[in-house]
Amino acid sequence: MAQNEGRRNLRSLELHVPEPKFRPGDSVDYSDLVIPPAGSAPRPDIDARPDSFHELAYSLVRVLDEKGNAVGPWAPRLAPDLLREMLRNMALTRAFDERMFRAQRQGKTSFYMKCTGEEAVAVAAAYALDRDDMCFPAYRQQGLLISRGWSLVDMMNQIYSNKGDRLKGKQLPIMYSVKDAGFFSISGNLTTQYPQAVGWAMASAAKGDTRIAATWCGEGSTAEGDFHSACTFASVYRAPVILNVVNNQWAISSFSGFAGAESTTFAARAVGYGIAGLRVDGNDILAVYAATEWAAERARTNQGPTLIEHFTYRAEGHSTSDDPSQYRSADESSEWPLGDPIARLKQHLVALGEWDEERHAAMDLELAETVKAAAKESEKNGILGHGLNNHPFESMFEDVFEEMPWHLREQCAQMLEEQKAAGL
């Protein structure tokens, strides 16, 4: 009998190709999402074994309930002044995004990326981490810099690649690098920051330091090899690092199913590596703060790494180069069941009697003026549309080597001679 003769009656093999639930023009129904009540997730002890709370990788840590009350064991009990400061920095981040988005549309810069709807992820982390902890961000964590009080003008200078840009126009707009704020250089190559963060954390431990590292990536880039290499090293050496996965449902125009979301949660990747895993309501700033603070304490007490999935939604396009109306329903953002992080913290403060609509409106107006003033100051240094006059030509040869090698010195000299001869 031929080898395959006995298989003639079997069905042909098939591949499963993930499909998003909603496409342009579709009505949206999130009723299949399992959203547990706020306060229902248990909070393990700091030194609990990772395999003793696997359920937290599949549920959802939530603090703020539908009425804006902070409930359950994860409620961090923060002072009203601190809550107002966090609200202000989320609103400032959003105002900054709006201004820079318009600047791109006006031709003042080539590119911009908003974090609308995801502000809580970065702002909460900035408060839960120590100022000297090292952050290895992806490209929607501008809230880290803003919450750490970094200059808006300096950030705009980088976006405009103008004369005030400390990076001399050598980075794509929004790819900041601020050593003084513990903010590692953003890379356009996805998830390269993950092994860098783990390596930095390992070095900190090897030196007997007390600083930890935190890193972020989108859910789509958990498919990158760098993500898994980082998880292996973090697990084996129990590196003092927090591995954040921002699940905003979309990786450019590919929905999260292509990264494995149909099979399990992204927090569940922690289970396979034997590290602590939490799945958190990413639009609940108190839940994000509590989870990050808990993970940071584990790292500082040598309990090893924690992987946190922030379950949120990308309210805007992937970038100024993207048109989400071409691949997703227009109703997805407005129907998202976990709401807006700014509105939810505002509701909580109002419920506490510590905030009101008048103060919120006044704050929004003040922040819009603050960002407008910063933009005017930055634009005095030039904008991208001003051409190649923002930085000296010879600067393209600098900052690559500690000492410029002879062949680059020769090339630089040749270029300057040609410029002079051409009258440039």
Which pLDDT score is estimated for 389? 61
DSSP per position, 69-108: -B-STT-----HHHHHHHHHHHHHHHHHHHHHHHHHHTTS
pLDDT in tens, 231-248: 999 999 999 999 999 999
pLDDT in tens, 371-387: 999 999 999 999 986 65
C-alpha pair distances (Å), 359 with each of 69, 363, 364, 369: 20, 6, 9, 15
pLDDT in tens, 96-144: 999 999 999 999 999 999 999 999 999 999 999 999 999 999 999 999 9
Structure tokens at 310: 């922030």
pTM over 0.85, yes/no: yes
Sign, Cα dihedral of 328, 329, 334, 336:
negative
pLDDT at 388 over 70: no
Q: What is d(CA 272, CA 405) in angstroms, rounded to the nearest whole number?
A: 47
**Average confidence score pLDDT of the chain:** 95
Give the amino acid at 78: L
Which pLDDT score is estimated for 141? 98
